[in-house]
Amino acid sequence: MKPSVILYKALPDDLQKRLEEHFTVTQVKNLSPDTVAQHADAFARAEGLLGSSEKVDSALLEKMPKLRATSTISVGYDNFDVEALNARKVLLMHTPTALTETVADTLMALVLSTARRVVEVAERVKAGEWTKSIGPDWFGVDVHGKTLGIVGMGRIGLALAQRAHFGFNMPILYNARRQHKEAEERFNGRYCDLDTLLQEADYVCLILPLTDETHHLIGKAEFAKMKKSAIFINAGRGPVVDEKALIAALQNGEIHAAGLDVFEQEPLPVDSPLLTLPNVVALPHIGSATHETRYSMASTAVDNLIDALNGKVEKNCVNPQVK
Ligand SMILES: NC(=O)C1=CN([C@@H]2O[C@H](COP(=O)(O)OP(=O)(O)OC[C@H]3O[C@@H](n4cnc5c(N)ncnc54)[C@H](O)[C@@H]3O)[C@@H](O)[C@H]2O)C=CC1
Ligand SMILES: O=C(O)C(=O)CO
Q: Which amino acid is at 215?
A: H
Question: Closest residue (by CA) to atom 2 of ligand 2?
Answer: 74
- Please tell me the predicted confidence (pLDDT) of residue 198: 98
Average pLDDT over residues 75-99: 98
- Whether residue 103 has its Cβ less than 6 Å from ligand 1: yes
Question: Closest residue (by CA) to atom 36 of ligand 1?
Answer: 154
- Whether residue 154 has its Cβ less than 6 Å from ligand 1: yes
- Please tell me the predicted confidence (pLDDT) of residue 296: 98
Burial class of residue 84 (count of CB atoms within 10 Å of its CB; 0-12, 13-18, 19+): middle
Question: Closest residue (by CA) to atom 3 of ligand 2?
Answer: 76
Q: Is 131 helix (H, G, I), strand (E, B) or coil?
A: coil
| Cα 134 to middle of ligand 2, angstroms | 39
Q: What is the percent of the chain with per-residue pLDDT over 90, rounded to a whole number?
A: 99
Nearest ligand to the C-alpha atom of residue 152: 1
Burial class of residue 34 (count of CB atoms within 10 Å of its CB; 0-12, 13-18, 19+): exposed
- Whether residue 205 has its Cβ less than 6 Å from ligand 1: no
Give 25's pLDDT tier (boundaries 50, 70, 90): very high
Question: Distance between CA 92 and CA 271 in Å, rounded?
Answer: 36
b/e burial code for range 120-152 (CB count within 10 A of at least 16 → b):
bbeebeeeeeeeeeeeeeeebeebeebbbbbbb
Nearest ligand to the C-alpha atom of residue 240: 1
Question: Distance between CA 192 and CA 194 in Å, rounded?
Answer: 6
Question: Distance between CA 183 and CA 91 in Å, rounded?
Answer: 31
Nearest ligand to the C-alpha atom of residue 177: 1
Average pLDDT over residues 230-256: 98
Question: Distance between CA 293 and CA 291 in Å, rounded?
Answer: 6
Question: Distance between CA 42 and CA 290 in Å, rounded?
Answer: 32
- Please tell me the predicted confidence (pLDDT) of residue 168: 98
Give 181's pLDDT tier (boundaries 50, 70, 90): very high
Give 23's pLDDT tier (boundaries 50, 70, 90): very high
Give the active site residues: 237, 266, 285
pLDDT tens digits, one per residue of 107-166: 999 999 999 999 999 999 999 999 999 999 999 999 999 999 999 999 999 999 999 999
- Whether residue 306 has its Cβ less than 6 Å from ligand 1: no
Question: Closest residue (by CA) to atom 44 of ligand 1?
Answer: 287
Question: Distance between CA 139 and CA 2 in Å, rounded?
Answer: 62
What ipTM was reported for this prediction?
Answer: 0.99
